[in-house]
Structures are given as structure tokens and as C-alpha cells.
Amino acid sequence: MTELGLAQISRALANGEFSSLELTQEYLRQIASENGDLNAFITVCEEQAMAQARAADEARSKGEAGPFSGIPIAHKDLFCTKGVRTSCASKMLDNFISPYDATVVENFNRAGAVVLGKTNMDEFAMGSSNETSFYGPVKNPWNRSLVPGGSSGGSAAAVAARLCAGATATDTGGSIRQPASFTGITGLKPTYGRVSRWGMVAFASSLDQAGTMTQSAEDAAMMLNVMAGSDPRDSTCSEAPTEDYTASLDKPLNGLKIGLPVQHFSEGLNSDVEKVIRDAVAEFEKLGATVKEVSLDNSHLSVSAYYVIAPAEASANLSRYDGVRYGYRCENPSDLEDMYKRSRSEGFGAEVKRRIMVGTYALSAGYYDAYYIKAQKIRRLIKNDFQRAFEDVDVIMGPTSPHTAFPIGSKNDDPVTMYLEDIYTIAVNLAGLPGMSIPVGLVKNLPIGLQIVGRDFAEAQLLNVAHQFQLATDWHKRAPGK
Amino acid sequence: MSIALSDVENIAHLARLHLSDQEKEEAAKSMSNILNLIDQMQSVNTDEVQPLAHAFDAVQRLRVDEVTESNHRDELQTLAPESEEGLFLVPKVIE
């Protein structure tokens, strides 16, 4: 039963094929068996999960179950979960038991979901390989010497290894889409502001967005139905109306116009990956879509602009970690300044400190215009590029990542080589647009993802496009070792 | 573009981070690499371009000035490393 996707589980529970308690216990057994090696979970909530499962079964027996009742999921460990450690994979918050639930967590609890645990991630969401976690790296279930991608590597690995039916995750520069690509699953980053960020520990506030990791687009639509919507507690959360994201999954794709950015098919893209991507695009043509080339002229500047904006926002967001009110405090501080400096230096890992330094520099007097304002202008150009492209096409497709998963430890020499991992995904966050990655093939038995980008608030269309591909193909059904 | 050790020290102080001598050297090197990446932005002219702070040019929403929260101080203060009588304790600040 743990092989089943979320939508299948929902139907099976409704039909009484098994109970939520049986299913939850089976997932917990799998986690106990696999997590020691994979390291996908930081915290497993056994007692709480079984209590939630029992409550869901009871609600079902009274005829009070909804579509998400009793479905076991996991939350990335930067969503605050009341009474449960919320660590952001950092020593800084290793002792932090959250006093409240994030809106996303509340929504799933209200829908009757079962929370199996909190998944591993790059520290404070800063990374593209899940190697910067205080709790150690996550391994890719397809090949355990390789990274699962990051920063949502734990959520991706957990879904790929069938340790949960679905998982929440976040994406600031590619942190859902890239790990989804590396682990052969479906990752969705909604439009900026589609999902509330209240209770979601902030990395870069104008870029962060909560999303989903699932086996399929149909499953992602079910999760988005629970997550999307306005929230008065998050003033960056859009008040745009939501919809039932499962309602238009079955629309045929005749007349769909797909754009392929010429810049995403140039040097740097592995030729085996390119072939898989072009084969996938050809599949869409068989489904009735037309394809044309588009140009995202300022694509080559997206990584540069991002590595000013994101660290700058991170330096401000992480200034709250000072050892005063919660989190790590160093031992025997000699004075207040020593307390701040040593608590932060001992509590944060190297990559986090590096980004705080870069951000502080970019915002400091004398550099603010040359770096931060310049990056915001580049951001405007990038947004305009997408707007121009969407006058001609409905969705934009291309590779999620230039290659397949790389070995753990292989990109530690120069941070910039790691930053270039997100070369195709970052512009989507800068423009605030929705993006997905779906598995479309294998290269040397490793998964490869196709990125699909849509207009603002076009999640339903993206999910429809992905779902139609998944009805015609079976890449999304492949699992490691099967 | 490379960054001087004195700049690294200054930034570390602004960010309230303590770096060892070796960490300062490493920071100078990795920051220089990152600054080279960032300097690519200067290759395009943006004189006539408006900065974009939010993807949809949204502005801060306001709400009515009504009290909607209650005081959770005691519950929240259980998370503090050191506290007493509703105050957070830190090393002495005033001489």
C-alpha cells in the first residue's frame, strides 16, 4: 500500500481497502528500516501520527472524512509544527520546539492528514544538494552515493523511496524542482503568494514559496487544494481566488502552445539530458500541442541577480537568530557582543554564514546601488522576458537541471559551481511564476526532469499539462530499485 | 573582483559573526568568487529600468488597527535560553 500515490490512497481509504492506521504503521515501519541510511527524516512523529491516523479512521466511520483524511505526509523541517522540533536542519534551531503550527501545517491538520515527520533539508534552505544539513546529507534513493538535490532533498527522497504519500517542500531558487528532477518525482512550486508563508521559516522573503513533492500531478493537485488560499497573517499571500486544482486535469491539450527557451538548450546542457527532454516535448506534440522557440534574453544574468537578492534578504531574515529569545546560545559569553557573535558563528553552518556575509556586503553603504538595486533591475528585465514570451506561448518547457544527480561531496570546492545547478530554475522565482518538474526519462538509470513554467496563477493549467503527459507515459511510476 | 581581509572583518562585524583567521581567508576567497559571478550583472545597461522588489509590484496591505492577538509571553518564554520574571536574560550591557 505504500507504493500507492496520494490519489489512489484517498480512493482506497474511501473504499475501506485498508485503514489509515494500517497504512501509517506500514510507512513508519519503512521509515524505521530505510531512514538510517537515507537520512530523509530529521524527526519522526510516531505517536502523533498514529493518533492522527486513529482520529481519521474514526471520522471516516462517522461519515465525516474528506478527500485528504488519513493520508500520511511529511513536512519539510522549516514548517513550524506545534510541539514538534522545527530545526531548519540547523544547530541554531536544534533545540527549538515550535509553539505554533504554520498555516500550511494547520491546513493539512484540518484536512485530516497524518504527519509522519519532518524532512531533512539544506540548512535554512540554502543549498542545491542537501549536503549542508546539520544532521548530515540525504542520499538519493536511486543511487546512494549521489545527492538527492536540494534544498528539499529530504522531502524528495522520502517521496521517491515511498516513505510517505506526499511531502511539503519549499522553493526559493529551485529547491523543489531540482530535487524532484534528481529523484524522479513530481515537484510543484506555485506562483509566489499562492500559498501562505506564515509559520514557514524565512530564507528570502520575496522568493520563498511552499509547494509539493508527489508521485504525480494528480497528487500535487490534491495537495495544492489543501495549501492554496489567502491568509490575513501573511501580507504577501495573494487574495486571488483559488480553484479546485483537480477539476481541469482531464482537459485535452489540443492547441496548447509550448515555448522552448533557446538559452536553456545551449552549452552546459548534457547531450543525453537534452535528448530525453526533446523526446518528452515530442510526446506533447503527439498530444496536440505545438512547439516554438522563445527567447529569454536575460536568462544568463538570473544566477547573478539571485545571488545578490537571496543572500541580502537572508542576511536580514537570519539576523533574528541572536541567542536571546530562542535557539542556540553559546556557553559562557563574556559580553553581549560575544554572545551574538559566538551564538551565530557556532549555530550556523559554513554556507549559511557565507550567504549572510555576501548579503550584508551587497546591502552595505557604497555597494547597495551597484549590487542590490542593480539586481532588482535585472529582476525586472527577467520578468519582462517571461511576459513577452507568454504573449506567444501558454507554457515554457525545458530541462530542470543541466545534468543528473551528482556524487555527494563532488561540488565542495567552489560555491559558485553549486550555485550554477539552479541555472534553469532561478529565473522562475525571480519572476514569481509557477513552475513544475516532472520525470520524463532516465540517463544511465538516473532520473531527469522536465521543467514546465506557466503564467501567474496558472497552476491548474500546469497540472493539467503534466497530468496529460503522465496518462500517456509511465516515467512517473518508476521508482528506485524497481 | 577580490575582497580584502579588512572588508571581510568589517562585514563579519556588521553581521555579528565571529570568524577565525583561517575562516577569514576562506571567506575572502569564496566571496571573491561569488563577487565575480555577481559582477556579470554589470554587462547590461539598466539605466532606464525600474527595480522590481516584488514579482507583482504588490504593496503592503494594511488592516484596521484592532487588537487581534493575545499575550503568549509565558508560553513563548519557555523557549528562552535564560529568562526571569518575564525578562530575557543576557550578559550585562551597561557598565
A292 and B44 Cβ atoms separated by less than 8 Å: no
**Chain B residues close to A323, C-beta within 8 Å:** 81
- Structural domains of chain A sorted by starting position, each given as residue range(s) with its CATH number in brackets: 6-255 (3.90.1300.10), 300-374 (no CATH)
Widest CA span in chain B: 57
**Chain B residues close to A378, C-beta within 8 Å:** 41, 44, 46
Q: Is residue B68 assigned to a domain?
A: no
Residue of chain B whose Cα is closest to the Cα of A352? B17
Q: Is residue B71 assigned to a domain?
A: no
- The residue written with cell numbers 545547478 in the block is A421
Residue of chain B whose Cα is closest to the Cα of A429? B55
Q: Is residue B26 assigned to a domain?
A: yes
Catalytic annotation on A292? no
Q: Is residue B21 assigned to a domain?
A: yes
Percentage, residues of chain A above pLDDT 70: 100
Which of B40, B75, B79 faces A301 most closely, judged by CB atoms?
A: B40
Give dist(CA A30, CA A396) in Å, integer.
Answer: 38
Extract the C-alpha cell encoding B33. Answer: 568568487
A432 and A458 Cβ atoms separated by less than 8 Å: no
pLDDT band at residue A481, thresholds of 50, 70 and 90? confident
Interface test with B, best of A235, A357, A414 (most B CBs within 10 A): A357
Long-range pairs of A272-277 with CB within 8 A, sequence gap ≥ 24: A272/A443, A272/A444, A273/A399, A273/A401, A273/A402, A273/A403, A273/A404, A273/A443, A273/A448, A274/A399, A276/A440, A276/A441, A276/A442, A276/A443, A276/A448, A277/A397, A277/A398, A277/A399, A277/A440, A277/A448, A277/A450
**Chain B residues close to A325, C-beta within 8 Å:** 76-77, 79-80, 88
- Is the pLDDT confidence value at B1 over 70? no
- The residue written with cell numbers 518547457 in the block is A397
Catalytic residue among A98, A151, A152, A216: A151
Extract the C-alpha cell encoding A325. Answer: 529569545
- Is the pLDDT confidence value at A482 over 60? no
Question: What angle (nearest 5°) sits at the alpha carbon of residue A178, between those of residues A176 and A183?
Answer: 95
Q: Is residue B19 assigned to a domain?
A: yes
Catalytic annotation on A477? no
Q: Is residue B38 assigned to a domain?
A: yes
CB contact under 8 A, A416 and B34: yes
- pLDDT for the residue A169: 98
- pLDDT for the residue A267: 85
Give dist(CA A477, CA A447) in Å, integer.
Answer: 12
Split into its structural domains, chain B has a count of 1
- Is the pLDDT confidence value at B94 over 80? no
pLDDT tens column, A27-85: 999 999 999 999 999 999 999 999 999 999 999 999 999 999 999 999 999 999 999 99
Give dist(CA A447, CA A442) in Å, integer.
Answer: 5
A439 and A150 Cβ atoms separated by less than 8 Å: no
pLDDT tens column, A184-225: 999 999 999 999 999 999 999 999 999 999 999 999 999 999
Element at A28 (helix H, strand E): helix A20-38
How much is the average pLDDT of A326-346? Answer: 96
pLDDT tens column, A431-442: 999 999 999 999
Q: Is residue B75 assigned to a domain?
A: no
- pLDDT for the residue B34: 87
CB contact under 8 A, B60 and A361: no
Give dist(CA A169, CA A148) in Å, integer.
Answer: 14
Say if A364 is an interface residue toward chain B (CB within 8 Å): yes
Domain with residue B17: its CATH number is: 1.10.20
Catalytic annotation on A151? yes
Least confident of A134-143, A428-437, A468-477, B23-32: B23-32
A439 and A449 Cβ atoms separated by less than 8 Å: yes
Extract the C-alpha cell encoding A411. Answer: 561540488
- Is the pLDDT confidence value at B95 over 70? no
List the domain range (segments joined by +) for residue B24: 5-42
CB contact under 8 A, A235 and B61: yes
> What separation in angstroms does the CA of A14 have from each of A22, A60, A244, A399?
14, 8, 19, 38
Say if A336 is an interface residue toward chain B (CB within 8 Å): yes
Q: Is residue B35 assigned to a domain?
A: yes
Sign of CA dihedral A180, A186, A191, A196: negative
Residue of chain A whose Cα is closest to the Cα of B78? A326
Kindly tell me the burial class for residue A254, based on how many C-beta atoms sit within 10 Å of its own C-beta (0-12, 13-18, 19 or more): exposed
CB contact under 8 A, B17 and A345: yes
Sign of CA dihedral A293, A425, A39, A143: positive
Q: What is the mean pLDDT of chain B?
A: 91
**Chain A residues close to B14, C-beta within 8 Å:** 360, 364
- pLDDT for the residue A417: 83
pLDDT tens column, A358-415: 999 999 988 888 899 999 999 999 999 999 999 999 999 999 999 999 999 998 878 8
pLDDT tens column, A126-166: 999 999 999 999 999 999 999 999 999 999 999 999 999 99
CB contact under 8 A, A378 and B46: yes
Give dist(CA A203, CA A90) in Å, integer.
Answer: 13
Extract the C-alpha cell encoding A366. Answer: 557604497
Distance from CA of A136 to the nearest CA of B (A): 21
